[in-house]
Structure 1
Amino acid sequence: MKQGIIILLFNIFGLHFTQARDVDLLTKNYTIDDVQQYLATGNGWVAYPDYSDRTGWKQLTAPFYEQLLKEGDKYLDYEWQVVKATDYLEYERSGSRVIMEKPLNENIKALTGLVMAELAEGKGRYLDQIINGSWYVTEISTWSLSAHLPAFQSSKRTLPQQGTHVFDLMAGDLGSLMSWIYYFLQPEFDKVNPAISERIKLNVQERVIEPYLTRNDMWWQALDIDEGQLVNNWNPWCNFNVLTALLLVEGDTGKKLQGVYKTMTSVDQFINYVKADGACEEGPSYWGHAAGKLYDYLKLLSYATNNKVSIFEHPIVKNMGEYISQSYIGGDRWVVNFADASAKGGGDPLLIFRYGQDVHSMEMMQFAKYLTEQRSSFNVIEGRDAFRTLENFLCYPTFQKQQAQLPQNTSKWYPETEFLYLKDKNTFFAAKGGYNNESHNHNDIGSFILYKEGKPLFIDAGVGTYTKKTFSKERYDIWTMQSGYHNLPQINGHDQRFGASYKSSDVSFDPKKLVFKLDIATAYPVEAQIKRWVRSYEMKDGILFIHDDFNLKQANSPNMVHFMVAENPVISNGRISLGNGEHALTFDVNEFEASIDTIEQDDPRLSKVWGQYLYRINLKAKNTQRKGSYTFTIK
């Protein structure tokens, strides 16, 4: 009771509260001896019918049978594409990842479609093409992507290096897919030629299992972690894939046990890294690969241990799940898109539903059903992720009975990650604190977004197509990463700086007054000469009040306050109209001179979301002053 009162006081007065929680949830609760006792010795844990069980597959795939066969039929005459050496070299030459990734992705999409069609129909019509695709996968030099090879090869180059198998996201996904192909179709392959299955097994072991078991230096494993090291979606994603390979392919029980426990040790580091409030600092676009992949990993581990090794009851796992339902804005699938996340998404409905089932979140289950009702259709095949597709088949009958509803809360405060959401039937506001070294970071401490009637007004642009520059020392040369292209001030001629030391301070949220306040001074370099810059947001009856109170050590140049908007704004005497005049940003015309930058969206990843143009409002202070305050109103 006493602890509850303390937590309540912290929440009411908006003070920082770091929720105490257990760390190393997997390995502190389960020893390797426990895992040895619980781990299934065979494949009896697999929840899906054997290939030969035609009645079982007919029942499992009935709602999607025609869809699956239609997808498989598309690839009966598919010509398997070659990924050329120059496709790998293109990453060094121009920075393009797409040239190498596109043909590989199309091949894997074809193989996945063929496999699911064959499992559904079971007549062998797709088998030869599956053999061709599987043979292709085992013959290519690497299962890794060109963008990831340099970090793991001694050559530091993008051509696959002889004798080195790089374990990245794609290598893991291929290892997982090939493991399921091996599990389901080995008897059918052996009727044709046993060399097919033998080759698949050997490749999974050499390219996925052995690198994982013999190396501890892959950064995403986080096994030799430094203080402050990022642990992002790569960790649960890759660990899920190697767990799949270990369970389905590895025949050595000692290796399997050691490998499974090593994945638990590694995944613990991801859970430890995520704040107790469960927010995904990478944004909703990455939720499916971060929290969603953690869920897949935990579900697979639970399956393989007869539900004996399970941490679904721990609050942080539920908090991580509900982040996706809380971050949904509405309208045309708009979401809160801090960091590299896209502004459109919502997540995979059946994944969200299953996650909600296992953590007992009615919110997630209802939200999942809501998503499907907003879409004309959805594809049951989850890309190259065989496990998710199989789980989709399994949960669909229960999912169909679920009622649809969006979360009903009007505010959501993430005190550790420092995200705030405020919403009513017409308005969705989100703002953030944090620090400028988050995973997929943008320099955006103190920024906000605002949507009205499900439409974007004040926005975060997101990120363009990934290139070599995106994850290099030149990252912050890209405009979308800079604070000058977020809803933030430029102070004394300086934008925010990248790094863990550039962060918010004195962050608070008053849930009664609906006021979010933080000092953003420490997000800027010392050259900005800032003593204090306190920004506050207050929401009243759908009107947003923004207040900047500042104190500089010295004033060298006029301050500039930027606002990013989705529609062409119109300036008129202290008022900037938006949304065909339905909304407006007002400011003191005696304090600021307003101008508009039109930003053409020539990147397809951005133009697909925003159209041809975005706009930046620039409010340049008419006076250079050391102390003062600014007020802006959006109504």
Structure 2
Amino acid sequence: MTAPSLPAPDVTARSLWAGPSVAGALAPALAAADAERGTPWPQPLASQYARFFRDGVRTVYEAQVAARQARLTRATLAALVDPSDERVDEVVDGVLLLCEQSSWCWAAHDDTFDRFGRITPTVTEPYLDLGAGEVAAQLGWVDHLLGPALDERAPGVRWRVRQEAQARVLRPFTERRDWWWLGVDHPIMNWSPWIQGNVLAANLVLEEDPDRRRATSALVAEGIAAYWASLPDDGGVDEGYHYWWQGAARALEAQDLLAFAGIEPAPEALARIRATVAFPHAMHLGGDWYVNVADGAARPLATWPWNVVHAWALRVGDEAAARHTASYRGRPGGLFDERASLPRAVGLLTGSWADAPAAAPPLVGRSVFPSTGVAVARSAPGSARGVAVSVKGGHNDENHNHVDVGSVIVALDGVPVVVDAGKPTYRAGTFGPDRYDLWVVRGDWHNVPRVRGVEQAPGPEFAARAFEVSDDGADGADETDGADRTGGTDAGPAAGWRARVDLAGAYPVGGLEHWWRDVRLDPGAETVTVEDSWEFAPAASGDPAGPTAWHWLLAGDVTLTPGRAVVGFAPDGTPDGSTPRTLALTWDVADVDAELDVRALDDPELSAVWGEHLTRLRLTARAEAQSGAFRVTMRPTGSGSQEVA
């Protein structure tokens, strides 16, 4: 067997794995591991795999796969703490179940049906996707961490792991170089670092030929460098905060493994790393809430590996990013989340992160990423108290795209109340030709207008024509474009703030010359105003396809009265523990008719964030004008606010 070749101590490091800090952090996971030992393992079935090809359901099979791997992770951690025979046997059972699983690829990604017309895996033609990479990395880490115990208790298991990893992942990666996620006839996106980082982990520990190991590491280094080169200079990510963790963060993890293998990033890659490290805290609203765009959740459903970002923030000298990551050290369970994958779990339990002191998050006052057309501002820099607003420009063909040019999110006291619904549960149609039939993706369920009966359209040509950000409400383009190398963040004074975006290009509406969306933040009054002004060419004054309507998607409870809607949403309270307030949206009743559309949430991923429902406030214009303007004002109500409910 090869020497230990992953950056963490193995089971023989008893002072670490048998120490009180690890045992304490792992207590819930160890209890779960002991409780499930001796019970049947989760069993992915052929009928569950086939469902994706039959009726589009992918979650049943993937849930079984995820449950099996989560149990193996818990079993591995338990065996590290106490490598008793029964605990090592549990690991061996999980490892062999994975080795005997027909495919490590998720059905939704497999090309078996397209190539062969089959609805079960083609074992002789393994497809290298996210799922296959995850299994290979997990088995590599199990082998590294428990190698001595496995050799003593179950000789031959590690040989089997190597055979399967070679056939399913390592050889397909090196021998087939037309994988689309490498950027072959497809833009590079988050799959590339996610898969390649996992391939690298498997390679470093499971590839016994040193020449092949070096060659595979070099291929991964090229791929990760290509990913960094694909990111904009300002560190923006069009997939948003959620997929930052499955893209940029995956690349950071891969870069750490490359460094362990003796390969450091080039200076140009380091510049992109420095910029993107600032992205998570730039999107922070307060507590666990973040600005979300595309297929992103506003509140993460699991703990992310903050240790990775913390280490890179210290390396590149980003004090604000380091503070933001360290704020998670002060939370209950902040050291370890049992839902983490095995590689991420080990990283959270070892290294400098385990001893990092807690800190308060920076809660920056201004963030802007011109490359993706995303800007965020808050009324009270350094505090979750007050209002925060984000505006999105961009275009309607981004990665994990939603139809949302010009969409606005507003948070009150760190909790979003004017919202983007975010990520749905994925199924067959989510990424097919019917994607834009999904309500959660359509423009009508984002905070953008329907212009003369026409929704925004998907496609790269449907884009913002201009995107401008300035302080003090002054006209002019964004002053930080290309100037702030920390990713466009600036704590800044609590000055007035303004963002303007021309939405006209996002609508297939003839004669629409301009549709300016002007978003202003008055910090002292804790007030956000959104004013739309438009102009049509004279020849476009014929009958419209339907009425113009403004949509505002609201979380929580909504009360509608003439010219006013009041919304309250704080499912877990406010981040600073203050009494939850409500937000009032007001408008001129002479301009529009107002209605509420309640959308019950039967999607578990959406309801986990927003509860049982979301409500759309629909403001429909009473008349169509060649040019005009319409304004909605948002401010808190109740004690301490400018307006009393």
Q: 2:273 matched to which residue of 1?
A: 317
Shift of 1:358: 3.3
Q: How far does the alpha carbon of each residue in 1:569-599 deviate from its partner, in whole angstroms, 9 at most, with x for none?
A: 3333322333399432222222211111111
8 A Cα contact 1:69 1:121, kept in partner: no
Matches within 5 A, 1:430-449: 430-449=390-409
2:249 to 277, 285, 292: 292
Q: 1:6 matched to which residue of 2?
A: none
Give the residue type in structure 2 aligned to 1:496.
Q
1:543 to 505, 508, 527: 527
Distance 1:156 1:218 in 2: 20
SS at match of 2:599: strand
Determine whether 1:275 maps to 2:212.
Answer: no
Determine whether 1:426 maps to 2:386.
Answer: yes
Q: 1:8 matched to which residue of 2?
A: none
Distance 2:453 2:390 in 1: 26
SS at match of 1:316: helix
Q: Which has the higher helix share?
A: 1
Give the residue type in structure 1 aligned to 2:246.
H
Determine whether 1:634 maps to 2:595.
Answer: no
Determine whether 1:490 maps to 2:490.
Answer: no
SS at match of 2:8: coil
Distance 1:572 1:199 in 2: 68
Q: 1:38 matched to which residue of 2?
A: none
Q: 2:413 matched to which residue of 1?
A: 453
Q: 2:204 matched to which residue of 1?
A: 247
Which segment drifts farther, 364-373 or 436-445? 364-373
Relative distance call for 1:194 and 1:93 in structure 2 (3 A) is: same
Shift of 1:394: 1.8
Relative distance call for 1:340 and 1:51 in structure 2 (3 A) is: same
Q: 2:290 matched to which residue of 1?
A: 335
SS at match of 1:439: coil
Q: 2:622 matched to which residue of 1?
A: 622
8 A Cα contact 1:235 1:270, kept in partner: yes
Relative distance call for 1:199 and 1:71 in structure 2 (3 A) is: same
Q: 1:471 matched to which residue of 2?
A: 431
Gap runs ≥5 in structure 1: 1-40
Q: 1:520 matched to which residue of 2?
A: 503
Determine whether 1:208 maps to 2:169.
Answer: yes
Shift of 1:456: 2.6
Relative distance call for 1:577 and 1:304 in structure 2 (3 A) is: same
SS at match of 1:147: coil
Distance 2:340 2:236 in 1: 26
Gap runs ≥5 in structure 2: 474-496, 570-580, 636-645
Shift of 1:69: 3.5
Determine whether 1:414 maps to 2:369.
Answer: yes
8 A Cα contact 1:230 1:439, kept in partner: no
Distance 2:52 2:11 in 1: 41
Normalising to structure 1: TM-score of the pair?
Answer: 0.87
Shift of 1:382: 5.8
Q: How far does the alpha carbon of each residue in 1:52-100 deviate from its partner, in whole angstroms, 9 at most, with x for none?
A: 3433533583553645543431332131233221111111222111111
Determine whether 1:585 maps to 2:585.
Answer: yes
Give the residue type in structure 2 aligned to 1:516.
A
Q: 1:230 matched to which residue of 2?
A: 187
Shift of 1:303: 1.2
Determine whether 1:376 maps to 2:332.
Answer: yes
Relative distance call for 1:571 and 1:58 in structure 2 (3 A) is: closer
Give the residue type in structure 2 aligned to 1:275.
P
Distance 1:381 1:409 in 2: 27
Q: 2:138 matched to which residue of 1?
A: 177
Relative distance call for 1:114 and 1:482 in structure 2 (3 A) is: same
SS at match of 1:420: strand
Distance 1:437 1:592 in 2: 31
Give the residue type in structure 1 aligned to 2:628.
G
Shift of 1:326: 1.8
Distance 1:74 1:354 in 2: 35
Distance 1:280 1:471 in 2: 19
Shift of 1:47: 3.4
SS at match of 1:569: strand
Shift of 1:46: 3.8
Q: 2:515 matched to which residue of 1?
A: 533
Shift of 1:409: 2.7
8 A Cα contact 1:457 1:578, kept in partner: yes
Normalising to structure 2: TM-score of the pair?
Answer: 0.85
8 A Cα contact 1:353 1:399, kept in partner: no
Shift of 1:270: 1.8
Distance 1:582 1:245 in 2: 51
Shift of 1:257: 2.1
SS at match of 2:194: helix
Distance 1:312 1:298 in 2: 14
Shift of 1:43: 4.2
Relative distance call for 1:448 and 1:177 in structure 2 (3 A) is: same
Shift of 1:478: 0.5
SS at match of 1:539: strand
8 A Cα contact 1:312 1:318, kept in partner: no
Q: 1:3 matched to which residue of 2?
A: none
Distance 1:347 1:427 in 2: 26
Matches within 5 A, 1:93-132: 93-132=54-93
Q: 1:19 matched to which residue of 2?
A: none
Relative distance call for 1:65 and 1:629 in structure 2 (3 A) is: closer
Residue correspondences, number: 586
Distance 1:367 1:156 in 2: 49
Q: 1:570 matched to which residue of 2?
A: 559
Determine whether 1:57 maps to 2:17.
Answer: yes
SS at match of 1:456: strand
Give the residue type in structure 2 aligned to 1:244.
A
SS at match of 1:276: coil
8 A Cα contact 1:144 1:170, kept in partner: yes
Q: How far does the alpha carbon of each residue in 1:235-277 deviate from its partner, in whole angstroms, 9 at most, with x for none?
A: 1110101111111111222222221121122222321222211
Q: 1:22 matched to which residue of 2?
A: none
Shift of 1:187: 3.8
Shift of 1:522: 0.9
Give the residue type in structure 2 aligned to 1:624.
E
Shift of 1:287: 2.1
Relative distance call for 1:355 and 1:75 in structure 2 (3 A) is: farther
